Amino acid sequence: MNTEAQNHGGARAGAGRKKNSGKFKENTKVMRVPASLVDTVKSTLEVYKSQLKSDVVVSLPADNAADITTPIFTSRVQAGFPSPADDHLEGRLDLNKYLIHHREATFFVRAQGESMLGAGIHPGDILVVDKSLIAKSGKIVIAVVDGEFTVKRLHKYKGNITLKAENPEFDDIVISEGSELIIWGVVTSVIHQYA
Amino acid sequence: MPKSNQQKFALVDCNNFYASCERVFDPKLEREPIVVLSNNDGCVIARSNEAKALGIKMGVPYYQVKDLMIDKSVVIKSSNYPLYGDMSSRVMSIVGEYAPVQEVYSIDESFLDLSGLMVNLNTHMQALKNQVKSWTGVPVCIGIGHTKVRAKLANRIAKIYPRFNGVFDIDVLPDNRFEKLLASVDVGDIWGVGSKSALKLNRVGITTALNFYKADIGIIETLLGVNGKRIYRELYGHSCLAIEEVAPARRQIVSSRSFGTDLSTFDEINQALTALTRKAVNKLNKQSLATTSMSVFICTNPFKKNVPCINLSKTIGMSAPISNEKLLIPLCAKLLKQIYEPGYRFYKGGVTLGNLTLDKSQQDLFVVNDKSTQLSDQPYGHLLRYASELGNDRWLPRAEFQSNRFTTHWNELLSV
């Protein structure tokens, strides 16, 4: 027992905490953590510690858990046969994805008036408008003529621009030299509700 | 000075953001002077260039410039935060596509870390500018520099001089031109130098950004501490301020507002504060936070002459973090009862939840979550009210000139 080392200071054999007896039951390391993540790291460790104690596996939800909508199982866990559909799980159809191709550039606009009845646009309908698209001749557009909004079909021919109504009772708008035309967006769909 | 392998940052800033949002949905306003008023139509908080040219200053009370604005047919808008917020998220989402790292700095500003991108940065940023404009209708200007402070300065140049077409890289300036530019900038206009710091610097004769740039770094550090030193070094092109990808955790949540009219009875004030508390608790829950201190304040209008200027407040600490409105709303009423004094006309009030921590009760799977019994979690929760919220709604803010919430309410869509 009385070795030389013990008489001259330094670590004694068998002294200190037992190996892996700490909170985490394994070796730990010191590291730098960005200040903004301190709380996140701490809470992760808290959860990990409680797991070690209780032997229950708990996983932390991701920060953006709300965005993750993928279901993991469709059938409930129960005695019996699993749903034969589990292996063929697909996302449910989403109208947003179908109608909106550029999320940041898409706006909904309420149609007024009957000048575009022929194109299937009724008063009160909701138009899906994409501002990112280039307005080619023949597209239905939201235009601004001298500061006023209008929805018409765009016609470009030999440098002349006409905004055509799709209802014989309405006149076309011929863009003359003095007037200012801005194409605000291109109409990609019409939503017409019956009930 | 700057070496070619240095970092590169961009600051993307929307031009007169609130006024620009209004113009997207009302193109007639394109060249008109526009002024946007704060909550409750109190002060001027945003101006179009045309309104700036008329000499309407930022922050002035509405009544002081009302006559001038009517005289010059200035278009007046109440602030429309649902609209500005949605337009901002569209802009920021596009901006984020142009660099691997983005910091959304405010509702209308975003930093990008462009370091290491193997593209012509000027062309790249021109494309960004054009895409934001055509997709959302909002015009932006972009400043590029080796540091955030320099990028911010560059943005200023991009805004002032149309010949740069909205994008300016400050690092291309030769030293003498750079210094000439600094001479034209007030020291208080350097990003990070606040008005208090500017005052300290002015006292020792540092009034322009050039004075600051030429000053001894020791003096700057003595006066402004380590932050001042960082800004100084940033100005010289040494990056000290990194992009903050994650917004720093909130230390407190404040929910306050001027009442629509002055309120004097306890019940009316309590009604207003209950609604404000619910708003604060909603924010708290959204971020999975809990609070351990709550403050309540009410005050009279400091701008009104011949009226005593009263500011009453009280703070209470809690033994354990709570996040439940069933506990916080009665607490707010209790605090109000202690500070309320009859006989005054209170014009503003608010609630602060401080000392925020992560809400443990939300993480623990084995604790029965008592939040499910909160009003807002029940079906139609948004329609339910606490009894203390019931009343005549006189406290709701004035928003006389608000445009439609075009992108967030089906019944307020743009009509064409």
Chain B residues in contact with A131 by the CB 8 A cut-off are 134-137
pLDDT at B307: 75
Cα–Cα distances (Å) from A89 to A70, A73, A78, A93, in that order, read: 10, 8, 19, 12
Q: Is A144 on the interface with B (CB under 8 A)?
A: yes
DSSP B201-223: HHHTT--BHHHHHHS-HHHHHHH
* CA–CA dist B323, B335 (Å, integer): 17
Active site residue A59: no
Interface test with chain A among B32, B244, B407, B416, by most A beta carbons within 10 Å:
B416
pLDDT at B399: 76
* CA–CA dist B236, B334 (Å, integer): 54
Q: Which residues neighbour B10 within 8 Å (Cβ) at sequence distance 6 or greater?
A: B99, B111, B112, B114, B121, B125, B142, B143, B144, B151
Interface test with chain B among A58, A107, A144, A184, by most B beta carbons within 10 Å:
A107
Q: Write out the two tokens for B187.
A: 């020291």
- Give the helix ranges, DSSP H, for B25-165: 49-53, 62-71, 81-95, 121-136, 148-160
Q: Picking from A47-51, B54-58, B182-186, B273-277, which range would have the lowest pLDDT averaged per residue?
A: A47-51
Single out the catalytic residue among A42, A49, A53, A115: A115
* Residue percentage of chain B with pLDDT more than 90: 59
Cα–Cα distances (Å) from A4 to A13, A15, A16, A170, in that order, read: 12, 16, 19, 110
pLDDT at A29: 83
- Yes or no, beta carbons of B414 and A149 under 8 Å apart: yes
Q: Is A131 on the interface with B (CB under 8 A)?
A: yes
Q: Which of B148-157, B314-323, B388-397 has the highest mean pLDDT?
A: B148-157
pLDDT at B202: 94
- Yes or no, beta carbons of A39 and B28 under 8 Å apart: no
pLDDT band at B312 (very low <50, low <70, confident <90, very high): confident
Q: Please state which CATH class domain A25-61+102-195 belongs to.
A: mainly beta
pLDDT at B316: 80
pLDDT at A50: 66
How many CB atoms sit inside 10 A of residue B229's CB? Answer: 16
pLDDT at B180: 95
Q: Which helix (H) or strand (E) holds B273?
A: helix B266-286
pLDDT at B147: 96
* CA–CA dist A111, A126 (Å, integer): 6
Nearest CA in chain B to A110: B415
- What residues 68-107 of chain A have any CB closer than 8 A to a CB of chain B? 102-105, 107
Name the one residue in this structure whose structure tokens are 């008063």: A123
Sheet holding A106-110, edge to edge: A173-174, A160-164, A148-157, A140-145, A181-191, A126-130, A106-110, B414-415
Taking residues B135-152, report their average pLDDT.
Answer: 97
Helix %, strand %, coil % of chain B (to 5): 45, 20, 35
Chain B residues in contact with A116 by the CB 8 A cut-off are none
Q: Is the pLDDT of residue B271 over 50?
A: yes
pLDDT at A69: 40
Q: What is the CA radius of gyration of chain A?
A: 34
Q: What is the pLDDT of residues B359-396, one digit of tens each?
A: 765 444 443 444 444 555 555 555 556 666 666 666 66
| Cβ-nearest to B249 among A36, A58, A182 | A36
Q: Which of A175-179, B127-131, B289-293 has the highest mean pLDDT?
A: B127-131
Residues of chain A with CATH 2.10.109.10: 25-61+102-195
Taking residues B2-14, report their average pLDDT.
Answer: 81
* CA–CA dist B149, B228 (Å, integer): 12
* CA–CA dist B400, B407 (Å, integer): 20
pTM over 0.80: no
Chain B residues in contact with A60 by the CB 8 A cut-off are 363
**Of B208, B206, B212, B204, the residue nearest B235 (C-alpha):** B212
How many CB atoms sit inside 10 A of residue B247's CB? Answer: 10
**Of B345, B313, B359, the residue nearest B332 (C-alpha):** B313
DSSP A115-159: TTGGGT--TTPEEEEETTS---TT-EEEEEETTEEEEEEEEEETT
Nearest CA in chain B to A131: B135
Q: Picking from B17-31, B91-105, B190-204, B305-319, which range would have the lowest pLDDT averaged per residue?
A: B305-319
Q: What is the pLDDT along chain A (195 residues), one digit of tens a residue?
A: 444 545 677 777 777 777 777 777 777 888 888 888 888 788 778 767 766 665 443 333 333 333 434 344 444 555 667 677 767 767 788 899 999 999 999 999 999 999 999 999 999 999 999 999 999 999 999 999 999 999 999 999 988 999 999 999 999 999 988 889 999 999 999 999 997
- Yes or no, beta carbons of A151 and B94 under 8 Å apart: no
Q: Is the pLDDT of residue B189 over 80?
A: yes
**Of A127, A128, A133, A136, the residue nearest A106 (C-alpha):** A128
Instruction: Report yes or no: A45 and A25 within 8 Å, Cβ to Cβ.
Output: no
Is the pLDDT higher at B305 or at B155? B155
Sheet holding B34-37, edge to edge: B44-47, B34-37, B75-78
Q: Which helix (H) or strand (E) holds B258?
A: strand B253-263
pLDDT at B21: 97
pLDDT band at B5 (very low <50, low <70, confident <90, very high): low
Active site residue A115: yes
pLDDT at A64: 36
* CA–CA dist B274, B219 (Å, integer): 50
* CA–CA dist B249, A37 (Å, integer): 9
Cα–Cα distances (Å) from A123 to A100, A117, A147, A168, B378, in that order, read: 22, 8, 21, 16, 36
pLDDT at B404: 93
pLDDT at A22: 75
